[in-house]
Structure 1
Amino acid sequence: MSITGALSNALSGLTASGKAAQVVSSNLANAMTEGFARRELSLSAQNFGAASGVRVNGVMRVVDEQVVADRRLADADSGHAERVLDFYTRLEELTGLPGEDGSLSDRVAAFQSGLITAASRPDSHDRLRAAADRAVEMVNTFQQMSAGIQDLRQQADRDIGAMVDRVNTLLGQVQDLNQRVTGALNTGGDPAALLDERQKVIDALSSFIPIRQVPRDRGAVALFSTGGSILLDGTAATLGFQRTNVIEPHMTVGGGHLSGLTVNGVPVRTDSDSGPLRGGALAAAFEIRDEHSIAAQSQLDAVARDLIERFQSPSVDPSLGIGDAGLFTDGGVAFDPVNETGLAGRLALNAAVDPAAGGEVWRLRDGILAASPGDSGNGALLQNMVNVMDLRRVPTSGDYGGGNQTLGTLVGSHLSGIGSSRLTAEREQSFAAARLDSLTAMQLEDGVDSDEEMQKLLLIEQAYSANAKMIQTIDEMIQTLLRLGA
């Protein structure tokens, strides 16, 4: 090897070592930076005539795109599962557990106990009043549960609005970063930091919507939902949504009362089966507002209907005629079967019995429409009310199967159904979280390992010292040759 060749090797080695040290120091400095992808120096042999040595090809970002893509989908699944679990957890808190103080089953049992106590002493005003009070407490529980379900729908609607705004902002940021990455490549710059930032933004976006990333020319990317909606391909899509100030049980998207979702002004489906944006936190909020909450309200209304129908029969209270409102009413009037939606929120104790509405508790004993008090020792009507609560009948509505149920077992079925849904949501959330943790760990394996980087730094230092020693030796050789020539 000539002196020129040796010098070329040593100089290129110094350059490569310096660049390698810069890359390692950058990795160590950003070891805890969110979204930072580890850098590696790309080197190759260089041999052009007399010039030889090592060539620096550039700095590469170490990213396993398939792991990143899978982790983003897992992030979307986890966000979806967490919201659904939160809904059923809060719904279970509203209804309470079977036998728990203040739960619906506890209120029903307390009301029946009050009737039994009153039937044992029908002449006791205090016992009749206590039974009426337990009825009011039970009615209030139905109303509070119904209001709580609508609050959950209202919160979901607000969440949708906030998420749509956030998604639009993030899509705009990805579009801007695409342009900046392309500009950096066109001018020969290093887009690595911009790529880190773009990955971070897309990661944030993926928690709301399951996303597939597709490469485009000059470093740009396109984004598609897994359901097939184009979110960004050159230009970012714009999602549209209108918040609703007050949501009531009868209000639905299909009925035109609630806002759906648009993409670039075009309405898209938001149901869990075929919505193009299904699967992430945004879809979960739509499901909570338009599916889970509506189903929960429908089940609760079915229990309220069963309660009303049991006590409005003339066979229970002979003072009633067909079509008369019984002990429990739909907002003070007889229940109309075509208007069941939201019934639990309108459930009320008949004003003729409710002392707070000017009623008389003796009508529990003598009949809702009794004109005057009857035999104070006659507890037959009170016993009829106790018996009708234990009567096994098929619920007129609701998804409770086709079996005969007492009022108590129907309420128990309602509570256990919510508990079962919560457990199912909990299992799905645990699976989604475990999958996300696993893929996150896989992605972190490509991240910065400070021990490995320090080992690289030692090797770089040795290589730098060796090349510097080579240059020093070559200098001494040249100086010797010059002295000999003189």
Structure 2
Amino acid sequence: MSLSSAIKIAQSSFSNTALQTAVASKNVANASNAAYNRRAAILASSANGATVVQTFRAQNEALQKQNLLSISKSAAQDTTLAGLERMKTMLGGDYELSTANMMSVLRNNLQAFADKPSERSLAETVVANAIDVANSLNSSSQAIQKMRAEADADIGTAVNELNRLLAEFKTYNDQVKAGTAAGADVNDALDQRDKLLTQISEIVGISTLVRTNNDMALYTSDGTVLFETYPRSVTFAPTATFTAGLTGNQVYIEGVAVQPGKGGNTSAQGTLAALLQLRDDIAPTFQTQLDETARGLISMFQDDGAPGLFTWMNGATQSTVVPGSLQHGLAASIIVNPALITAKGGNPLALRDGVNLNQNAANDASFSILLEGYAAAFETTMTFDVSTGIDPTANILNFSTASIGWVEQLRSAAVTANNDKTALLSRTQDALKSVTAVSLDEELALLLDLEQSYKASAKLVAAVDEMMTALLQAAG
């Protein structure tokens, strides 16, 4: 080996060591950055030894796609579970504030009143229990519509964020395309693009397609184009106020409606579809169950063909009609008949004698025919609307209990699915990180190796220097 060759090899080694050290140092500096993929300087043989030819960015396309899918499913399940947990809390946590519990108390005290129909205090208690039932239906209905309104607002926020992320995605995707075509280092842009992918997948399920020059196209889980060269339009018109029976506006991606998820173990991918499920499926179905419970109560206690113990407000007017079919919003407007409320000038004993038609003409203190009929009505099978999603043929108590069971069944399925999807996401992320994340131990070991390489190159230079000095001295 000539001295000039030795010098060139040493210079090449110094250059390689400097580049490799810079890459390793950058890895160490970004060890805690979740959006950073590990870099490695790739060496190739040359006439003067090894030369750094490119900086390799660790990645695994299959694991990344699985990770994006897991993120979408987990985010959707979290959203669905949060909504169902809120519904459970709305009903008292252990459902102690549910209408079913209130009705059980009403039925028991009504039977006690039927046994002692002369006791005014028992009549007052029954009316107070009826007020509790009506208030339970009112508050539950209001809470459900509030939840729908908040879900609608969250949908609007998610749509705005999705549009922002897609616009930002275009910026980095363009950098990747241009840099790849020019042979430049695009690793930082790739990191930012992948970071945006994870954020987008939280909102909507996506699939990716990499094309020439690392150009990437995005599609929703059902195949709608989300991004291809430029971001597609995601549109949504929020609804200010929700009432029972009111349908919220659709979310459109390039004119295609986003479909809501289904079931407690939701089929939704991303928070957007899960929020649509809460707003348009779960909450409205429960609202229908509340409305049918209210209709059943008004029908059970009707007197002489008109509302008796329970009536309802038709706008600003107290209705005199017993609804014969599903009335959207009935749970929010059901009230106890003021004719029975002492504080409003009513007489609670009218429940015993007949609210609209006095059937106790003799004013018999032991008259209990109507009261016995009302108590028995709690055990009488009724027919409810099939849109309630539960058994449409049941007595009022079983129907109301089945409504709680419907919520709890969905919630229980959501809890199990959430645990499964969270665990899958954790495993997927761990697998991806094992390929792409920075290991400080590995980087520090590499830096030690580079230090030894530097020392070896320095010794080579020192040896060449000594030989050159000796040669010059010998030449005189």
What is the identity, as a one-letter code, of the residue corresponding to 1:289? R
**How many Å apart are 1:357 and its aligned residue?**
4.5
**How many Å apart are 1:220 and its aligned residue?**
2.9
**How many Å apart are 1:113 and its aligned residue?**
2.2
> 2-side partners of 1:395 and 1:180: how far apart?
60
What is the identity, as a one-letter code, of the residue corresponding to 1:56? V
Gap change, CA 1:61 and 1:462, over 3 Å in 2? same
Encode CA deviations 1:330-365: one digit per residue, 9 max, x unaligned. Answer: 423223334522222222223332345443212111
After superposition, the CA RMSD in angstroms is: 2.2
Match of 2:284?
Answer: 294
> 2-side partners of 1:171 and 1:13: how far apart?
44
Number of aligned positions between the proteins: 463
> 2-side partners of 1:42 and 1:66: how far apart?
23
Match of 1:255?
Answer: none
> 2-side partners of 1:260 and 1:267: how far apart?
9
Give yes or no for contact 1:227–1:278 (8 Å, CA) kept in 2: no
> 2-side partners of 1:387 and 1:200: how far apart?
63
Match of 2:308?
Answer: 326
What is the identity, as a one-letter code, of the residue corresponding to 2:430? A
> 1-side partners of 2:403 and 2:343: how far apart?
30
> 2-side partners of 1:190 and 1:24: how far apart?
16
Query: Which stretch shifts more, 202-211 or 378-387?
Result: 378-387
Give yes or no for contact 2:261–2:277 (8 Å, CA) kept in 1: yes
> 2-side partners of 1:394 and 1:238: how far apart?
46
**How many Å apart are 1:187 and its aligned residue?**
5.5
**How many Å apart are 1:469 and its aligned residue?**
0.9
- Map 1:117-196 → 2, pairs under 5 A: 117-185=112-180, 189-196=184-191
Encode CA deviations 1:178-206: one digit per residue, 9 max, x unaligned. Answer: 22333444555422222212211221111
Match of 2:246?
Answer: 251
What is the identity, as a one-letter code, of the residue corresponding to 2:350? R
What is the identity, as a one-letter code, of the residue corresponding to 1:81? Q
User: Are residue 456 (structure 1) and residue 417 (structure 2) matched?
Assistant: no
User: Are residue 420 (structure 1) and residue 388 (structure 2) matched?
Assistant: no
Give yes or no for contact 1:260–1:267 (8 Å, CA) kept in 2: no
Give yes or no for contact 1:175–1:234 (8 Å, CA) kept in 2: yes
Encode CA deviations 1:392-449: one digit per residue, 9 max, x unaligned. Answer: 445454333366x433222221112211110011111111111111111112212111
TM-score calculated relative to the size of structure 2 = 0.91
> 2-side partners of 1:240 and 1:353: how far apart?
51
SS at match of 1:43: strand
Match of 2:357?
Answer: 370
- Map 1:263-412 → 2, pairs under 5 A: 263-264=253-254, 266-272=255-261, 278-312=268-302, 317=303, 320-321=304-305, 324-331=306-313, 332-333=318-319, 334-371=321-358, 374-395=363-384, 397=386, 398-401=388-391, 405-412=394-401
Match of 1:199?
Answer: 194
Gap change, CA 1:431 and 1:363, over 3 Å in 2? same
Query: Which stretch shifts more, 369-378 or 432-441?
Result: 369-378
Give yes or no for contact 1:178–1:221 (8 Å, CA) kept in 2: yes
Give yes or no for contact 1:61–1:192 (8 Å, CA) kept in 2: yes
Gap change, CA 1:459 and 1:327, over 3 Å in 2? same
Gap change, CA 1:209 and 1:269, over 3 Å in 2? closer
> 2-side partners of 1:106 and 1:455: how far apart?
66
Match of 1:30?
Answer: 30
- Give the share of equivalent positions with the same residue, in percent: 25
SS at match of 1:337: coil
SS at match of 1:352: helix
Unaligned runs of 5+ in 1: 253-257
> 1-side partners of 2:392 and 2:231: how far apart?
51
> 2-side partners of 1:378 and 1:473: how far apart?
121
User: Are residue 434 (structure 1) and residue 434 (structure 2) matched?
Assistant: no
What is the identity, as a one-letter code, of the residue corresponding to 1:430? N
Unaligned runs of 5+ in 2: none
**How many Å apart are 1:221 and its aligned residue?**
1.8
**How many Å apart are 1:468 and its aligned residue?**
1.4
SS at match of 1:445: helix
Match of 1:64?
Answer: 60
Give yes or no for contact 1:79–1:207 (8 Å, CA) kept in 2: yes
SS at match of 1:248: coil
Match of 1:5?
Answer: 5
Give yes or no for contact 2:172–2:189 (8 Å, CA) kept in 1: yes
Encode CA deviations 1:47-77: one digit per residue, 9 max, x unaligned. Answer: 3xxxx20111111111212212211110110
SS at match of 1:326: coil
Encode CA deviations 1:260-309: one digit per residue, 9 max, x unaligned. Answer: 12234x24242437xxx952111111111111111111222222222222
What is the identity, as a one-letter code, of the residue corresponding to 1:445? S
What is the identity, as a one-letter code, of the residue corresponding to 2:429? T
Query: Which stretch shifts more, 284-293 or 301-310?
Result: 301-310
> 2-side partners of 1:427 and 1:227: how far apart?
25
**How many Å apart are 1:479 and its aligned residue?**
2.6
**How many Å apart are 1:213 and its aligned residue?**
2.1
Query: Residue 224 of structure 2 is aligned with which of 229, 245, 265?
Result: 229
Give yes or no for contact 1:75–1:207 (8 Å, CA) kept in 2: yes
User: Are residue 111 (structure 1) and residue 103 (structure 2) matched?
Assistant: no
